[in-house]
Each structure stands twice: as C-alpha cells, then as structure tokens.
Amino acid sequence: MSRYIISLFVLLASSPLWAQLGKEAKDTVTYKDRYGIRVGIDVVRPVVSAFSDDSNGFEIVGDYRVSKRFYIATELGYRDQTTQEDFFNFSTKGEYVKLGVDYNAYKNWIGMENMIVVGLRYGFSTFNQQVNDYLVNTDPFVPNRIESDLETFDGLSAHWLEFVIGLKVEVLHNIFLGVSFRGNTMLSSTQPDNFKNLYVPGFERVFVNNNGFSFNYTVSYLIPLYRK
C-alpha cells in the first residue's frame, strides 16, 4: 500500500511541472500574418459612367503591407467630367495619382485581416479645362446662353492633401470590399486666365475655401507574397 501512496504523491507533485511544460509548448505555436500586394478598382466610377453622359472615368487602387499595422497605399485614375453651374457649363479632363500611408486601427482576431483605415495621401493631377457655354445678361429678364468660343486651357496641374477614413472587409478568400471618405485640402494649382478651377480630377469639386471631399467604393484582391 505504501508503494501506491508514494507513486500517487510523486504523480501529484509532478503535475504542475507537466502543466508548465505543456503551456510553454503551446506558447511556441504562433500565427504568421500574410504580407502582400492588394490591387483593385473603384466600382462607383464605371457605374456612373454607364448612366451619365456628363461623367466618365476609372480609378485603380492598391496597397502593400509593410508592418503589422501600416500599409503603403496608392490610387490612380482618369476623369472626364462636365459640370453645369448657374451661369456656365464646363468640362474637365485629366489624370491623377495619389500616394500615402494607411494605418489599421482595428485589432483583428487570429486569421482575420479586416481594416479600419486611417490614412493620409498626397495627390497630384494634370488636366485641362474647357468652357462649353455661358449666360450673357443682355436682357435681365431673358438671359441668353451662347456657345463659348474660348480655347481649351491645357497644361493645368494641382497638388493637394487628403485625410482618409474607411473600412476594408474580407468577404471571400483574398477578396476585399472597401469604402473610404476623404477630406481634401488644396496646396496649389495653376489657374487659367479669367477662370477658376472648380473641378480637379481626383480632388473632385473645389469649394470656395479650396477644400473638398470625395469617396470611393472598391473591390480588391490580395496577392500574398510571404508570411511574417
């Protein structure tokens, strides 16, 4: 009997040691996050272009994960936009590129890669403006709208900053839906003679205080490159 009592005592005494060894073995199992390039498109622009003769364009988006929380991000696109104001109508055509960083403010569970995006962009656009027609108040009660004979203002450019906030959610394996809203502040732009840049590709509508806002709704695909 004493032999069984001694064996039981040894087993009970050694159980904390086995538990500690098991915990240490479990702690050595780590999950490696995926790092890669995510590319996609803004799906709003093609839809608007299909149903409107006054708006045409596209936007390609991308990001690259550089650390657990930070991403290098970019957007590039094209706009052909006709805008109707109270007294004139004008068209804007041009390209733009944006480059900056995104921070993921969301702490994912293991295996999740969703994002609450807080970011910053520098934007640059080259474009032209054309006044299509305007009103002439020869009669205060019957203003005349006439076709413009003004030349196209070529070689225009603009620089701005964007503050970005948005979401990215993985809905299928490697496929993400995203939405972002941007507050824009114009840094500088070349203005045509006798005309103000009221619309800039990528910046969108320019308000009186040289601020503006824009948004995009994206579908993108992650190309995993390695785990870390």
Is the same domain home to 56 and 93? Answer: yes
pLDDT, one tens digit per residue, over 3-52 is 544 454 444 444 454 455 455 445 556 778 899 999 999 999 888 888 88
- 38 and 22 part of one domain: no
Q: Based on the fold, state whether residues 182 and 126 are members of the same structural domain.
A: yes
> How many residues can be counted in the chain?
228
CATH assignment at residue 79: 2.40.160.20
State mean pLDDT over 170-195: 94
Task: Write down the mean pLDDT value for the chain.
Answer: 85
How many independent structural domains does the chain possess? 2
Q: What are the tens digits of pLDDT across the range 161-175?
A: 999 999 999 999 999
Rounded to an integer, what distance in angstroms lies between the CA atom of residue 1 and that of residue 103?
67
pTM reported for the whole predicted model = 0.81
Query: Tokens 């994912």 label which residue?
Result: 108
Residues with Cβ within 8 Å of residue 143, at least 6 apart in sequence: 135, 136, 137
In order, the DSSP letters of 33-89 are: PEEEEEEEEESHHHHHHHH-SSEEEEEEEEEEE-SSSEEEEEEEEEEEEEEE-SSEE
β-strands 115-136, 70-84 pairing: unpaired
- Could you tell me if 82 and 103 lie in one domain? yes
**Is 2 in the same domain as 89?**
no
Are 73 and 97 spatial neighbours (Cβ–Cβ below 8 Å)?
no
85 in the same domain as 8: no
Are 150 and 207 in a shared domain?
Answer: yes
pLDDT given at position 203 = 97
25 and 97, same domain (yes or no): no
Higher pLDDT, 205 or 29: 205
Residues 52 and 149 in one domain: yes
d(CA 16, CA 74): 53
Rounded average pLDDT over 184-198: 90
Residues of the domain holding 152? 34-227
Amino acid 87 reads F
Do both 40 and 11 map to the same domain? no
| Paired tokens of 135 | 């009103």
Residues 22 and 54 in one domain: no
Asked if 93 and 8 sit in the same domain, the reply is no
